[in-house]
Structure 1
Amino acid sequence: MTASASPASPVPARDPGLQPERTRLAWRRTTLSCTVVAVLAGRQAAGEEISVASVVAVSLTMLVWLAFLWVAHRRMRVVGSSPSPGAMSVGGALVAAACTVALAGFAVAMVG
């Protein structure tokens, strides 16, 4: 008995549904969380005596926040402009992860 080959059926077009919207909203929530962390860091530093360390900590926190904002904005634009956006670049993912770790490290340094 031989198996007969069946013709390949065409693959239907991908219907993204609400996935791009959910992804964009997730990036907005994450950006809001980073903004809250940056504002709280500035508030913590403002409550102390102004020192070189507090100015450096706040400056680095704002720099990291701006880097995360840049990555998030780029990703939200890609997700919002295409019904089938590609995967996030490795560089963008690394920058987002590094910003998250850096903000956590700055928080520990400011509290400690």
Structure 2
Amino acid sequence: MTGPARDGSRGADLGGGQGGDRGAGGPAETGAERDPGLQPERTRLAWRRTTLSSTVAAVLAAKTTLHGGGSVTGVLVCALCCALWLTFLAIAHRRIRVLAAATGGEGPPALTPRHATAATLCTVALAVCAAALVF
């Protein structure tokens, strides 16, 4: 256990200050800049994860349709799932390209409301179609 130094200073404070307060030496005070490439990278990964999830839902919808005997309704719902998946894939691929192309300090442009709405509707509709095939 360490005590105060002989010259009266407190010594190294490894606890981060009183009560969890970061105090001096935090990222804002030391001049450390954030990496502008991290946020677009996380966003690209999120788009890829969502695309993978929608791919799994579409594949499971196709498997359920084929395994269930292939009724007309099942085939139509499966075709709708595939169309929704392709639409979402196109939107996600476009956004991933925009994020990858963004360089400089400004970052990528914001997702347009039209594309955000389309991606959301495709995701929700794909989930509803896949759930309809299961139940």
**For residue 47 of structure 2, what is the aligned residue in structure 1?**
27
Report % sequence identity.
Answer: 54
Show CA shifts across 1:8-62 (max 9, x none).
xxxxxx8513111111111111100100010011111111112211110110000
Structure 1: unaligned runs, 5 residues or longer:
1-13
**For residue 76 of structure 1, what is the aligned residue in structure 2?**
96
Q: Does 1:90 align with 2:113?
A: yes
Show CA shifts across 1:43-100 (max 9, x none).
1111111221111011000000000000000100000001210110111100111011
Instruction: Output the CA distance in 2 between the equivalents of 1:108 and 1:15.
Output: 40
Aligned residues: 99
Q: Does 1:101 align with 2:124?
A: yes
Instruction: Output the CA distance in 2 between the equivalents of 1:89 and 1:106.
Output: 26
Instruction: Output the CA distance in 2 between the equivalents of 1:22 and 1:92.
Output: 19
Structure whose alpha-carbon radius of gyration is higher: 2
Superposition RMSD in Å: 1.3
Structure 2: unaligned runs, 5 residues or longer:
1-33
Larger helix fraction of residues: 1
Instruction: Output the CA distance in 1 between the equivalents of 2:114 and 2:37.
Output: 27
Measured after TM superposition, the shift of residue 108 of structure 1 is 2.6
Q: Does 1:37 align with 2:60?
A: no
Instruction: Output the CA distance in 2 between the equivalents of 1:111 and 1:92.
Output: 29
For normalisation by structure 2, the TM-score amounts to 0.69
Runs of 4+ in 1 over 6 A off after TM superposition: none
